[in-house]
Structure 1
Amino acid sequence: MSHAFLAARRPLLAMSVLAVAASAHAQNRLDTVVTTATRAPQKLSDVLADMTVLSRDDIERQAVGSVADLLRRQVGFEMVRNGGAGANTSLFVRGADTRHTAVLIDGVRVDSQASSGASWNAIPLAQIDRIEIVRGPASALYGSDAIGGVVQIFTRKGDGKPVVDLGIGGGNRGLVKADASVSGRTGIVDYALSVAAEGSNGFNARPAPATPTFTPDDDGYQSRNASLRLGVQLAAKHRLEVSALTSHVDSDYDSSATAKTDDRTISDTRATRLAWAAQWSSDLRSELSVGESSERYETQPSPYVTKTRVRTYGFNTSWNLGAAGTLQGLLERREDQLDNTGVIGGHGKRHQDAMGAGWSWASGPLSLQLNARHDRDSEFGGTSTGAVAGGYRLGAAWRVQASVGTSFRAPSLYQRFSDSGKANLRPEQGRNAELGLHYASGRDEFSITAYRNLVRDLIVYVSKPVSGVAGPCPNLYGCYDNVSEGRLQGLSLRGATALGAVRLSGTLDLQAPKDSDKASANYGKLLARRAKTHGTVRAETDIGAWTLGGQVLASSKRTDNLATGIKLGGYAQLDLDAQVTMSRQLNLQFKVENATDRKYATARTYAAAPRQVFIGLRFTPQL
């Protein structure tokens, strides 16, 4: 057993002995109101899904990195990145592929129809006020994409008297960050405006001597972003809100081209939404919305440009029936468009029309939730999904819950309309069952969730010999086809406790996401870049005006490529952070990521970020 693997296992084994697993206790206050689990407001304590909420305080403690760096520290998440914070990034939730997570920003679906899945590197951390995470399939609520889970990101929202928040900081390798926001309420209008910029000289992301064609230089990035939320209380029970976010990232990378050039990727993400929320009576509410997101990705000097536009229209209503529970109804339309030179004719279009219904009920210790949805795709016809969940309280502190559900993801427009696409591609289909036990009392929290998600008709690129065009592929070299199956199963633990003045928290994932296609040469093998064991351990305490924290992020070894069998070693990364309140208006932040300068990789030939030091000031003047 390798030293790297042992180094990664020690904190994970310690985690299982302590039986503490999850995010910080403050993020999971049971009275927190969330919307993602049912698409309607409810207390976190009533949610029947495996859910985590990250607050702005959690994000401030992060201080350095990206949204992906923050999420990889949550239970069920693994990250793969081709270099630094500005590089292409994938997130696996419970072993599901990155395209199997539905991502929303203020209710707007964000998705690339070229690369499949959200562009995580282009979502700005500085604009986020809260993140709600639901693990497990949620297509019965959100339609396509939600096979592995849902991540919903909320930007800042104004309330009360005006508040100004200013932040500035820097670190090694030329890291500079600055942000400013103003929010508040004036009469019937509430507002929140935020702008931010950051940049870094980066590091050499391709240091391997076996790749001499890559330019041995630092691969930095620059980004700038802004968000706006504006609400108008038209009447006591009617609210109109508009939100908008824009993000621009210009990042260096090393291409595999023979010429040693400075390659760049330019990513632009935008999301806008207009919504009208109405409370018709104490028991009846509705929301009408229209939203649009766009993702543009360009490489230079190699001439490649792709742009995705996703437009959604939605009507959501809920009716409280008292002792009989709550009914929900949903009508939704989604329109996808892809402009890409690799697509026949230069662009492709598709739309999905959906209707859904839900019922939730609670009486005494028992809670039930039913959801059903039907999506009709202009290319693939109809797909029906459903979910059933139940919970039972075993006293004041314990609750057991279980659920079953189905999910799907429609083929991307590139998979369908490129010269490697096939007219008979089918949506990927998931079928999940899970069982969870939760405990919460005072400063102690603990949960354990066992899940099994069978995903069939997985779409992969199938290569074939250049000898001819016979066979199902329209392209001489290969095509996308439904030829694989996956069995995603595992055990997730999370929790928090306190030992005196020290607050402890952590996560532990024991998983076996495997190829379950008996006709595959990889049958029974773990999926690429997934670890059997990964997790975190965090400790923090207050000393006077200081809050000191440290966290270990660890993973066991993974297979980088199933065809070659090449392994990626296990690792353990240590992060340190400190905050001091200098006055009611001024906070000083310190952060050291990868404090021991551990060298490891989440993708072969791509180095993970070395030690990153950050010092920042946050100023909130009283107005």
Structure 2
Amino acid sequence: MPATAQNNANKLDSVVVTATRSPQRLADVLADVTVLTRADIERQALGTLADLLRNQACFEMVRTGGPGAQTSMFVRGAETRHTTVLIDGVRFDSQASSGASWNAIPLAQIERVEIIRGPGAAVYGSDAVGGVVQVFTRKGDGKPQVELGVGAGSLGLRKLDGSIFGASGMLDYAITLSTERSDGFNSRPTTDATFTPDNDGYKSTSGNARLGLQLNKQHRVELLGLKNKMDAQYDASAKPKTDDRTRNDMRALRAAWSAQWSKDLSSEFSVGESMDRYETAPSIYLTETRIRAYAFNASMRLGSGQLNALVERREDKLLNTSLPQSATPGAADRHQNAIGAGYVWGSGPLSVQAHARYDRDSEFGGSTTGSLAAGYRLTPQWRVQGSVGTAFRAPTLYQRFSPYGNQHLQAEHGKNSEIALQYENAGTSFGVTAYRNLINDLIIFGAADIKKCPNQFGCYENVSQARLQGISLNAASSFGSLRLSGSLDLQAPRDASTGGGAASANSGKLLARRSERQAKLRADYSVAGWEFGAQLLSSGHRYDNAANTVRLPGYSVVTLDAQYSFTKELRLQLKLDNVFDHAYQYANGYATGPRQALIGLRWTPAL
């Protein structure tokens, strides 16, 4: 159990749903999993979901500027598109940029995050090659409550959010509104005389509502709506006096009916839809991805085990200014139908989990994935576990129908194996996980081949292979009022292409923008009503390109935070990011944020 979260983030009695799509005690999950609570979110990050996750084991963030800029997230070295992102069960993805818009998911709306490292395609289908991240918004419970937050800091940062949540009779509700803006910093420093240095700020406005109706003890209906709008400045080129901007709109809608037919049989039927819209100005580019999913889950307890079954349909639609090869210029769509089953069993010290799933895609055909995991508790404190699993990622609609598209593209396929040893006793934990993930038919943008690709700039091709392997260590322990936690990742995400030619020109080299070593340490200390925290993130060198000719130096960043409770209702929050004002780069030519301070207040008045 990764230990970079706070004290209450990984307790053995925590219940998670992401690993198997059904409730399961955290102690019984046979996967590399982390749970982050609202307390962790408030103290550990500024900005977006990506800023929070970069502090977690096996996660690397790359961003071309501030929180509003384009963001990539590598989990165990896998590509951004190889991580499934869900918000309250609604899948987010971009069929143009290959992956979720990490920069457009605000922290203010998040109550809890569940992270699963390793393939999850046997449970979630396409995309879950490297991992799964599911975000949960607040759910109403108990008497009505109000929570208000306000903050201000350097770089012109201003934050404001408010929530009301609770329950009354059969109805429970939670509503949150938030806004955040910053003047930003110059993210593209250059000596080009034609370039006008300017600060690249952003503004984010979001809101969500979650309503539940408990019809009786057996049946519940829930409705969810979420919307976020991110407007950010960026530097596209060295054009003087040009204000380049991106506008990223996200939306999620979901309706679900859950039923408990007996003490051993339960089910859920849900309909969800997400929209991810990205637009630039004054240079016009517009792309919009819409995903609609219908899912029916059922779970039945059978003695010491549980059988899970799933039927699911996913519909993708892409609206893009450049899709000349699609049947309808400017638009393309496809669908996937899936059926899956899983079995979770445990008796005494032994636990076993098996999942299988078949997806049929209207564009490239069928794909079968599966996983098998087993764990054995050597003592009440020590457990050894291992797993094998397969995964796939369907080609995006842009990769198939854009000017650079290839309608003969096939899905990328991954084969993962891992083994782990875990220890947990009286507030002290330790874990080590060794993994190896081989991804075949990796899609890259290749050189033009007139026989296969008429575009002079090149096309997408299934010609590459990646080998992701490494060891992840984590530990945590308390010493009175002091708690120390941390992780160390030693990894080798490399190009493993063979066969000669351009496809294997970079064979054996590190994948772009991924390091071989990362260390993340955190200390928390409580005294006299204060809660102090210090965090260190250290990364080794990386290369900005696949040929490993442009080297990016390693870096270390220190963050401090503090919280003081004046009363039960009023808390002061302080944060200092990049304490030593260290200049470093995630991507060549792009600056990262300077030292930044934030002061905030959170008020939860009694009603």
Normalised by the size of structure 2, how large is the TM-score? Answer: 0.97
8 A contact 2:47–2:106 mirrored in 1: no
Give the distance between the partners of 1:463 and 1:160, measured in 2 at CA: 60
Going from structure 1 to structure 2, the CA distance change for 1:63 and 1:601 (only over 3 Å counts) comes to closer
Matched to 1:295, the amino acid is: D
Describe the SS at the equivalent of 1:173: coil
Partner of 2:254 in structure 1?
273
Partner of 2:447 in structure 1?
463
Going from structure 1 to structure 2, the CA distance change for 1:215 and 1:113 (only over 3 Å counts) comes to farther
> For 1:535-584, what per-residue CA distance to the aligned partner results, in whole angstroms no more than 9, with x for missing partners?
21111111111001101111000011133611111110000000000001
Partner of 1:8 in structure 2?
none
Greater shift in the superposed pair: 414-423 or 482-491: 414-423
Partner of 2:57 in structure 1?
75
Partner of 2:120 in structure 1?
138
8 A contact 1:319–1:327 mirrored in 2: yes
Partner of 2:287 in structure 1?
306
Greater shift in the superposed pair: 558-567 or 541-550: 558-567
1:424 Cα deviation (Å)? Answer: 1.1
1:137 Cα deviation (Å)? Answer: 0.3
Give the distance between the partners of 2:238 and 2:584, measured in 1 at CA: 24
1:62 aligned to 2:53?
no
1:501 Cα deviation (Å)? Answer: 2.4
Partner of 1:370 in structure 2?
354
* Residue of structure 2 aligned with 1:516, choices 496, 505, 511: 496
Give the distance between the partners of 2:546 and 2:228, measured in 1 at CA: 35
Partner of 1:484 in structure 2?
464
Structure 2, unaligned stretches of length 5 or more? Answer: none
In the TM superposition, 1:77-476 aligns within 5 A as: 77-209=59-191, 211-323=192-304, 325-344=305-324, 345-464=329-448, 470-476=450-456
Describe the SS at the equivalent of 2:99: coil
Going from structure 1 to structure 2, the CA distance change for 1:213 and 1:553 (only over 3 Å counts) comes to farther
Matched to 1:336, the amino acid is: D
Give the distance between the partners of 2:316 and 2:238, measured in 1 at CA: 32
Going from structure 1 to structure 2, the CA distance change for 1:526 and 1:564 (only over 3 Å counts) comes to closer
Give the distance between the partners of 2:67 and 2:469, measured in 1 at CA: 29
Give the distance between the partners of 1:274 and 1:474, measured in 2 at CA: 45
Partner of 1:49 in structure 2?
31
Give the distance between the partners of 1:616 and 1:23, measured in 2 at CA: 21
1:558 aligned to 2:542?
yes
Matched to 2:5, the amino acid is: S
Describe the SS at the equivalent of 1:99: helix
Give the distance between the partners of 1:439 and 1:277, measured in 2 at CA: 36
> For 1:361-395, what per-residue CA distance to the aligned partner results, in whole angstroms no more than 9, with x for missing partners?
11100000010000000011100000000000011
1:445 Cα deviation (Å)? Answer: 1.0
Describe the SS at the equivalent of 1:126: helix
In the TM superposition, 1:581-592 aligns within 5 A as: 581-592=565-576
> For 1:88-120, what per-residue CA distance to the aligned partner results, in whole angstroms no more than 9, with x for missing partners?
101000000000000000000000001010001
Describe the SS at the equivalent of 2:380: coil
Give the distance between the partners of 1:103 and 1:154, measured in 2 at CA: 11
8 A contact 1:528–1:558 mirrored in 2: yes
8 A contact 1:21–1:493 mirrored in 2: no
Give the distance between the partners of 2:388 and 2:2, measured in 1 at CA: 26
Give the distance between the partners of 2:521 and 2:140, measured in 1 at CA: 34
Normalised by the size of structure 1, how large is the TM-score? Answer: 0.95
Give the distance between the partners of 2:364 and 2:454, measured in 1 at CA: 19
Describe the SS at the equivalent of 2:47: coil
8 A contact 2:481–2:527 mirrored in 1: no
8 A contact 1:318–1:326 mirrored in 2: yes
> For 1:402-445, what per-residue CA distance to the aligned partner results, in whole angstroms no more than 9, with x for missing partners?
00000000000100111211121000000000001111111101
Matched to 1:375, the amino acid is: D
Describe the SS at the equivalent of 2:215: strand
Describe the SS at the equivalent of 1:59: helix
Describe the SS at the equivalent of 1:561: coil
> For 1:433-479, what per-residue CA distance to the aligned partner results, in whole angstroms no more than 9, with x for missing partners?
00011111111011110000000101011123xxxx72211323210
Partner of 1:527 in structure 2?
511
Greater shift in the superposed pair: 402-411 or 536-545: 536-545
Calculate percent identity across the aligned residue pairs: 58
Give the distance between the partners of 1:214 and 1:154, measured in 2 at CA: 42
Describe the SS at the equivalent of 1:229: strand
Partner of 1:498 in structure 2?
478
Give the distance between the partners of 2:565 and 2:260, measured in 1 at CA: 41
8 A contact 1:419–1:474 mirrored in 2: no
> For 1:143-173, what per-residue CA distance to the aligned partner results, in whole angstroms no more than 9, with x for missing partners?
0000000000000100000010000010011
Matched to 2:177, the amino acid is: V
8 A contact 2:2–2:57 mirrored in 1: no
> For 1:114-142, what per-residue CA distance to the aligned partner results, in whole angstroms no more than 9, with x for missing partners?
10100011111100000000000000000
Describe the SS at the equivalent of 1:512: strand
Give the distance between the partners of 1:63 and 1:451, measured in 2 at CA: 28
1:258 Cα deviation (Å)? Answer: 3.6
Greater shift in the superposed pair: 555-564 or 477-486: 555-564
> For 1:305-346, what per-residue CA distance to the aligned partner results, in whole angstroms no more than 9, with x for missing partners?
1100000000000000113x1111000000000000111210
Give the distance between the partners of 2:548 and 2:129, measured in 1 at CA: 28
1:22 aligned to 2:4?
yes
Going from structure 1 to structure 2, the CA distance change for 1:499 and 1:318 (only over 3 Å counts) comes to same
Q: Aligned residues, how many? A: 599
Going from structure 1 to structure 2, the CA distance change for 1:503 and 1:564 (only over 3 Å counts) comes to closer
Matched to 2:454, the amino acid is: P
* Residue of structure 2 aligned with 1:593, choices 570, 577, 600: 577
Give the distance between the partners of 1:294 and 1:414, measured in 2 at CA: 16
Describe the SS at the equivalent of 1:235: coil
1:212 Cα deviation (Å)? Answer: 4.6
8 A contact 1:421–1:474 mirrored in 2: no
Matched to 2:309, the amino acid is: G
8 A contact 1:20–1:504 mirrored in 2: no
Describe the SS at the equivalent of 1:68: helix
Structure 1, unaligned stretches of length 5 or more? Answer: 1-18
Give the superposed CA RMSD. Answer: 1.2
Give the distance between the partners of 1:20 and 1:380, measured in 2 at CA: 37
Give the distance between the partners of 2:459 and 2:193, measured in 1 at CA: 31
